[in-house]
Structure 1
Amino acid sequence: MKQYIVTITAKEPLVLRTQSGSETRSDVVDYISGAKLLGLLAKECYKDLKADDQDTLYQLFHSGNVRYGNAYPVNENTLGMPVPFSLYKEKNDTEKAKLTFSPVTHKKKQQKAGYITISDGNVSLFTLPMGERLKSARDPDLEKRRSKDESMYLYSYLERGIVFQSTITVNEPTGSIREAILKLQGQHYIGTSKGEFGRIEIKISEPTVNPILVLEKNFQLKVYAVSDLIFLNEVGNYTTKLTAKMFGIENAQLDVKASHIRFKQFNTYNSKRRTPDADRLAVAKGSILVFKSSNEGQEIEMTAHTIKDGVGVHKTEGFGQILVNPSFLNSETIVESDYKVVDLSSTVVTEFGKLLAKKHENVVKDHDTYDETLDFINKHKTVFKNTSQSQWGTIRHYILQAIASETPKATLKALLDSKSTTGYLRQKANANWNVKQVALIEELLEQENCMELLLKITVELPKTLQT
């Protein structure tokens, strides 16, 4: 069994949805799910593997041989873990509230958000820095210079500079699997509103052997949910009725009073079939489940294999990760700390990225670009009146691809080049683009701010053509 360490740096603010594969609006989350890593890898190599190496394709995505773990934040070089729900903050009006695990006092409030790090037996609690941005569509009328009516909405996002870490575990490694996994390295886009948010950089370590785990045996076992846990009942339906056998424990029962359990629901949507799947019911990450022996004087045990392999279903997507009897749950020293983001000021590539990261420090320049966008639309909207949203969507896709490269402007020119045999704007392959339209787009490519300007045009121009 091999394990790859995946380090993810947020180069731009991230807007990540609560629901895995959901079409509904939901709050931002503070981690990158294993399902997103699986999806990024599938985007990179699924099509090629389907044509050339179906066995590797099956092993990577369908057999359960490869498991993509959730990526949690790293604070000061220490990996954070979801806050255990046995952690409480005692209510105190006169001084800073004290954090304790399962306090006796009734004046307590469960800590539901954040992550913990463990150093020398001490536990630190931190939360990730987040911001909010009010967005709106611009009114195309140059005379008004204001937001479009009924088109304003609020985005909550994670700040840029946050570092996450995950593991990809391979039960039966091969050279072709290793080669495919390493294709994740580089820059990608995740989350919502990828035109303005979502750029990340991924680095992957060389594979290492999984750490050795030992059998856990005692009269009582505390199971800490490192990730969400999903189980099926005897007829194959998702269930929240938990039993010891689901965790591979014999002759034991769940002690509900001693446990700290929360549940959540995933409203999944299958974009391939364009229909919702069955809602997934899960034990929320951070839950503490306490199992006690059913027979007096008889110890219960959980095998090292169960701990290493995880429990429940959908383990490929990051579900099912657990720890048993972690020592930090008995810690008496818990402090609150701040999260320190990585300074990325020397690695900012685009003015757009600077704008988002500094919370509109360059708002004047952004307005100027919008003015140029609206001016271009008003002058040339009749020229582009027969273009479709998919045409502009394709150009937007190429812009995002170019931004992620080392030479964005040159890459974009090559991708769109009308004189190239592979360029998107070449006449024979794209009859929907006429000569005048191509000339106007290529004129834009010569401007200094062509990336930002053309990106805004691909978003705003299709809106003016909707009648």
Structure 2
Amino acid sequence: MTIQYFVLTTLDPIVVSESNATVNNQMSLDFIPGSALLGALAGRLYRELSDEQSWALFHSGAWRFGPCYPLQDNRLALPVPLSWHHQKHAPVVAPQTSQFAEHITNHAHTGFVREANTQYVQMRADYVTAGAQRIRVSRGQNTKTALSAQTGKVAPGQLFTYGHIDPGQQFVGFVAMDPQNTELQQRVTNALNGEFRIGRARSNEYGRVRIQTIEYALPEVSDEPDRLTLWCLSDCAFVDAQGMYHVMPCGEDIHPQLKGASLDTRHSFIRAHTLSRFNQKRGGFDSEQRVITRGSVLSFRLSSAVPRQVLHEISQNGIGTDKQFGQGWVMVNPAWATQSNPCREAVFCCDDIPTCGAQSLSAEAIRNLSTPLIDWLRAQGTREQQLRERAMWVREQVTTLLTYYRQARSYNHVLPSYQAGPSQNQWRRIADLLNHASDDWFERAFGRDGVADKDSDHICKASNDDYGWGIRWQGVDGFTHFAEASKSLFCNADGSAIELVLARQLLEQICRYELATPGGLKDMKALLDKQKAQSNEEVTQ
């Protein structure tokens, strides 16, 4: 087989669902299946090819369209083997890194011995690079609603959710070509370069990808004298003599020259699932198939050494049936198969992927993209960030004000049944002033520097209000009163007045409760804690 590798970059969210069902919310796959690429290429080439060429490329099974797996830092990531286990409650990755922990064990290794009183957990997710780095594909969900064709309005009860692969990520895939058809090879290679739409909902802002072919080849396989280990990099399907699908292959199912090989069930780790493919010709689903899940490990005992040519054919041609959909891709005798602790050395042999020819989207490039929509979204993000910062500043100022109230009550030994500090009505006088204020709102609220209270008509006067604006206490910088302390809340660091919009937001928060009473202080504290928790949750999301 002639294998053409390519780098696929997601430009839009890609909807590749785990199920083809049209009801309920569908979860997204974390890879791009080969059938998606087969369909995209068929849409571009089918009308241009002759019937014979179309049959050879898309229907004969001689051409294989492999799954696309994530690429990060020029390194290909492959499904984590199911023979890998970690100790229960122990971290899977090293602290503050994405490297798999060294305590992870490979139970397919013949020399592995289980530790007493240790519980092991099978690893069934994520991807691993040759350097034992854990890779996760970024995914998301979008919820939409259907529109009624009769009214043009939202149809009741018609919410649906798309799970998708996020844009801006790179994947590596391949097409295994028939070496005897050089003309068709060239046409497919040329057609692979460019933009495609794949997956579901392609007419609704989803599915756009860019593909660039690259020159690459996986390293040659290694051989072992008495054992054959196959790492299933994609789903694998096997059919017995009666035409039934099964998940316990014998040596002959792998290659005709492996008749003497037997499956070692003790050191094999197989998971399976069922699927039914839709047959467009018949307008219905095919028979249910039971296939071995990607990541499974098949270990065979050998009666005699296997020629390297046989191992090469298994690696190049794949195993099982339905290989045109990307099934049957395996790695023969990977490096981790000879290690009890596979993450201490190279997991598998793989050179860095050359992406110089592929158009990758770096984080900086994405930040520099400029379209009307992207510019509007950036402006919205900046506005939301400003709103969060203002809300945080208001909470900090109100928290400081609560401290003033408590210090004043404590210093003056005010009983809980009495009020201490400015009342809610006094704060509302300032709020009313700001709603109709001119540029001199700050002086009308707190007075001018160097002008006595008796010579001014501002609101916050310490004189003749001993338990309101004039209540005093011992602060950090000496004695102070509420009029002076409150003034500092509405000042910038240079002593100038804060923006009018900030002052209004601050007073809106202050006027919610009667802070001159212990009950009002308690209610305000609960409100601030709730707002802080909601803000932290929004940032986390």
Common fold by TM > 0.5: yes
Q: Distance in 1 between matches of 2:196 and 2:183?
A: 24
Are 1:128 and 2:137 counterparts? yes
Contact kept in structure 2, 1:60 and 1:177, CA below 8 Å:
no
The equivalent of 1:256 in structure 2 is: 265
Contact 2:35/2:326 (CA < 8 Å) preserved in 1? yes
Match of 1:351 among 360, 365, 373: 373
* Greater displacement, 249-258 / 100-109: 100-109
Residue 191 of structure 1: which of 189, 192, 199 is its match?
Answer: 199
Q: CA deviation at 1:306?
A: 2.3
- Secondary structure of 1:118's counterpart equals coil
Of 139, 149, 166, the residue aligned with 2:173 is 166
User: CA separation of 1:110/1:55 partners in 2, compared to 1, >3 Å: closer, same or farther?
Assistant: same
8 A contact 2:12–2:209 mirrored in 1: yes
- The structure-2 alpha-carbon separation of the partners of 1:363 and 1:187, relative to structure 1 and needing over 3 Å to count, comes to farther
Distance change in 2, residues 1:22/1:174 (3 Å) = farther
Asked whether the equivalents of residues 213 and 308 of structure 1 are also in contact (C-alpha less than 8 Å), the reply is no
Contact 1:41 1:181 in 2 (8 A): no
| Partner of residue 240, structure 2 | 233
For 1:349 and 1:363, the matched residues in 2 are separated by 18
Rate the CA distance shift 1:77–1:37 in 2: closer, same or farther, 3 A: same
Structure 1 gap segments, 5+ residues each: 365-467
Partner amino acid, structure 2, of 1:351: L
Instruction: Report matched runs for 1:140-289 at 5 Å.
Output: 148-172=155-179, 173-194=181-202, 195-205=204-214, 213=220, 216-248=223-255, 249-289=258-298
Letter of the aligned partner of 1:72 in structure 2?
A: Y
1:174-204 CA distances to partner (integer Å, 9 max, x unpaired)?
1243123422322222222220322111112
| More divergent stretch after superposition (182-191 vs 273-282) | 182-191
Aligned partner of 1:108 in structure 2 is 120
Q: 1:139, 1:62 → 2: CA distance?
A: 39
Q: Please give the secondary structure, in 1, of the residue aligned with 2:319.
A: coil
Give the Cα separation in 2 of the matches to 1:342 and 1:146: 40
Distance 1:45-1:362 versus aligned 2 partners, 3 A rule: farther
**TM-score normalised by length of structure 1:** 0.65
Task: Give the SS at the match of 1:131.
Answer: strand
Q: Is residue 321 of structure 2 the alignment partner of residue 326 of structure 1? A: no
Q: Which has the higher contact order (CA 8 A, sep 6+)?
A: 1
The 3-state SS of whatever aligns with 2:17 is coil
CA distance in 2, matches of 1:42, 1:141: 36
Partner AA of 2:64 in structure 1: R
CA shift for structure 1 position 80: 0.8
Q: Does 1:72 align with 2:73?
A: no
Uncovered stretches (5+) of structure 2, i.e. residues with no partner: 96-100, 347-359, 385-541
Q: What is the aligned partner in structure 1 of residue 15 from structure 2?
A: 15
1:221 and 1:290 in contact (8 A); partners too: yes
Amino acid at match of 2:72: N
SS of the residue aligned with 1:150? strand
Per the TM alignment, residue 147 of structure 1 is displaced from its structure 2 partner at its CA by 6.0
Cα deviations across residues 327-376 of structure 1 (Å, max 9, x unaligned)? 034224389xxxx9843344576738986xx8x95999xxxxxxxxxxxx
The answer to whether the 8 A contact 1:252-1:300 is kept is: no
Secondary structure, counterpart of 2:320 in structure 1: coil
Quote the Cα distance in structure 2 between the aligned partners of 1:306 and 1:118.
21
Which residue matches 2:38? 38
Structure 2 distance, partners of 1:277, 1:147, is 36
Task: Flag the structure with larger Rg.
Answer: 2
Q: 1:154 to 1:44 in 2, by over 3 A?
A: same
Q: In 2, are the aligned partners of 1:267 and 1:278 still within 8 Å (CA)?
A: yes
Q: Show the counterpart of 1:62.
A: 59
Which residue of structure 2 lines up, in the alignment, with residue 310 of structure 1?
Answer: 318
Report the alpha carbon displacement of residue 286 of structure 1 after superposing the two structures with TM: 0.6
Shift of 1:63: 3.0
| Identical-pair percentage | 24
Post-superposition offset of 1:258: 1.2
CA apart distance, 1:141: 12
Q: Say whether 1:84 aligns with 2:98.
A: no
Q: Which amino acid aligns with 2:311?
A: T
**Is the 1:22–1:269 Cα contact (8 Å) retained in structure 2?**
no
Residues 333 and 211 from structure 1, CA distance in 2 versus in 1: closer, same or farther, beyond 3 angstroms?
Answer: closer
User: Match for 1:101: what amino acid?
Assistant: N
Letter in 2 for 1:279: E
Distance 2:23 2:319 in 1: 28
Q: Deviations over 1:291-313 (max 9, x none)?
A: 113x5xx4456532222111111
Q: Distance in 1 between matches of 2:121 and 2:372?
A: 44
Shift of 1:240: 2.1
User: What are the within-5 Å matches in structure 2 for residues 430-445 of structure 1?
Assistant: none
Aligned residues: 343
- Give the root-mean-square deviation of aligned CA atoms: 3.5
In structure 1, distance between residues paired with 2:211 and 2:36: 13
Pick aligned residue for 1:118 from 121, 124, 130: 130
* Partner secondary structure for residue 28 of structure 1: coil
Q: Match of 1:266, as an amino acid?
A: L
Between 219-228 and 102-111, the greater mean CA deviation after superposition: 102-111
> Structure 1 stretch 340-349 or stretch 264-273: which is displaced more?
340-349
AA at the equivalent of 2:288:
D
C-alpha separation in 2, matches of 1:55 and 1:140: 43
Distance 1:133 1:215, change over 3 A: closer
Amino acid at match of 1:68: F
Contact 1:6–1:165 at 8 Å: present in 2 too?
yes
Shift of 1:215: 7.1
Corresponding letter in the other structure for 1:177: Q
Deviations 1:4-62 (A, max 9, x none): 2221111111221124x66676421011111111111111111221xxx3332232123
Retained in 2: the 8 A contact 1:23–1:269?
no
Task: Output the CA distance in 2 between the equivalents of 1:273 and 1:348.
Answer: 47
* TM-score (structure 2 length as normaliser): 0.57
Residue 453 of structure 1 corresponds to none
How many angstroms apart in 1 are the aligned matches of 2:140 and 2:254?
39
Q: Kindly tell me: are residues 82 and 333 of structure 1, through their superposed partners in 2, closer, same or farther at Cα, counting changes over 3 Å?
A: same
Distance 1:141 1:227, change over 3 A: closer
Q: Tell me, in whole angstroms, the C-alpha distance in 2 between the residues paired with 1:352 and 1:274.
A: 42
